[in-house]
């Protein structure tokens, strides 16, 4: 993947009348919106897509649908698939199915809840790498998994499996990022920020882009920020970061994708429906979010 790439972790829209029915009309609208506002790649069935409450059949259907919409509209946007699981056999199966159904790459999260040690992580990701030929991006998100993949494990995986191509790092462990960038600088290994607010700082220590939530709303601006950075126009990049920072933080005041779905509902792009156990914002929280949207992106609400 090219340097300073914008990947959007796409939500899964549900019908206003039924949170257990995917709204494919709204999904198409969002896919085309993302493709036209700077997203180089769309992540389907990630946390932002409510993968914990999607069936595997729904996940594959979303992958197939996203590929179909992009192809029909001659869009060059790639599709990444959230194929991870804390069950290695399931992760292996979903990775193979992702390849069979046209994914361009997969995102594979560190196993959550069962908390494997580093040897267990090596075994888990090794089996996935052997199950498919797609580029694999490891997903380190300690706030959700309660474990963290360390640098030595990442080095082992990158050096032993040619299709392990990168890392989504959703933490403030800049030492880890620096160590990885230094050790794997000669390899085709990409590092992506997993938090919008950390994108610019992470670019500064060698990250290749961001897997973003805010890009549903401000993809053009995030892409512009990365272009400025790449062209050594750091002050201009900082201006965009500072402008968007209130939005970045507002979108994570409740568990993702609660706030981004509310924002997209306010913008009339889809319903704000969530699947339980997630619940919608309170009226007060919704009003606070509206103010941020009005101030940050000049939304007319």
Omega of the bond leading into 257 within 30 degrees of 0 (cis):
yes
> CA torsion angle for 21, 27, 28, 30 (degrees, to 10)?
160
pLDDT for 186 equals 56
Rounded distance between C-alpha atoms, residue 243 and residue 257, angstroms: 22
- 139, 156, 192, 228: which one is catalytic? 139
Question: Which tens digits make up the pLDDT trace of 103-145?
Answer: 999 999 999 999 999 999 999 999 999 999 999 999 999 988 9
Average confidence score pLDDT of the chain: 95
Q: Which two tokens mark 217?
A: 């709303």
Residue 271 lies in a domain: no
- 78, 122, 168, 223: which one is catalytic? 168
Tell me how many domains the chain contains. Answer: 1
Residue 48 lies in a domain: yes
Model confidence at 170, in pLDDT bands (50, 70, 90)?
A: very high
139: annotated active-site residue: yes
- Residue 19 belongs to domain spanning: 5-234
Residue 224 lies in a domain: yes
Rounded distance between C-alpha atoms, residue 4 and residue 7, angstroms: 10
Residue 193 lies in a domain: yes
Question: Which tens digits make up the pLDDT trace of 209-235?
Answer: 999 999 999 999 999 999 999 999 999
CA distance to 63, 128, 157, 188, 281, per residue, from 191 (Å): 23, 19, 14, 10, 32
Domain containing residue 105: CATH number: 3.20.20.70
Residue 215 lies in a domain: yes
Among residues 144, 145, 79, 149, the alpha carbon closest in space to that of 107 is found at 79
Residue 123 lies in a domain: yes
Rounded distance between C-alpha atoms, residue 209 and residue 154, angstroms: 18
Q: Which two tokens mark 53?
A: 């409450």
pLDDT for 4 equals 82
Residue 170 lies in a domain: yes
């Amino acid at each position: 993947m090219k340097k300073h790439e914008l990947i959007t972790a796409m939500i899964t829209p549900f019908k206003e009348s039924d949170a257990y029915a995917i709204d494919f009309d709204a999904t198409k609208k969002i896919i085309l919106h993302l493709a036209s506002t700077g997203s180089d790649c769309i992540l389907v069935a990630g946390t932002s897509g409510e993968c914990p409450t999607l069936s595997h059949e729904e996940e594959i259907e979303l992958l197939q649908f996203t590929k179909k919409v992009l192809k029909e509209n001659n869009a060059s946007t790639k599709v990444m698939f959230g194929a991870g699981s804390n069950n290695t056999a399931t992760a292996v199966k979903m990775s193979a199915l992702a390849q069979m159904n046209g994914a361009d790459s997969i995102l594979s999260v560190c196993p959550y809840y069962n908390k494997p040690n580093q040897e267990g992580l090596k075994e888990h990701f090794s089996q996935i790498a052997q199950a498919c030929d797609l580029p694999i991006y490891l997903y380190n998100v300690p706030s959700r998994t309660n474990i963290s993949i360390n640098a030595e494990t990442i080095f082992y995986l990158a050096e032993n499996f040619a299709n392990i191509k990168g890392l989504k790092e959703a933490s403030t462990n800049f030492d880890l990022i620096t160590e990885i960038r230094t050790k794997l600088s000669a390899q085709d290994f990409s590092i992506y920020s997993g938090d919008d607010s950390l994108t610019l700082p992470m670019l500064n220590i060698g990250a290749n882009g961001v897997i973003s939530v805010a890009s549903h709303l401000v993809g053009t601006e995030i892409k512009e920020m990365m272009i400025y950075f790449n062209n050594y126009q750091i002050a201009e990049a900082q201006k965009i970061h500072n402008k968007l920072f209130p939005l970045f933080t507002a979108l994570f005041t409740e568990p993702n994708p609660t706030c981004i779905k509310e924002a997209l509902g306010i913008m009339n792009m889809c319903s704000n429906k969530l699947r339980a156990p997630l619940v919608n914002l309170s009226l007060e929280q919704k009003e606070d979010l509206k103010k941020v949207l009005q101030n940050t992106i000049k939304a007319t609400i």
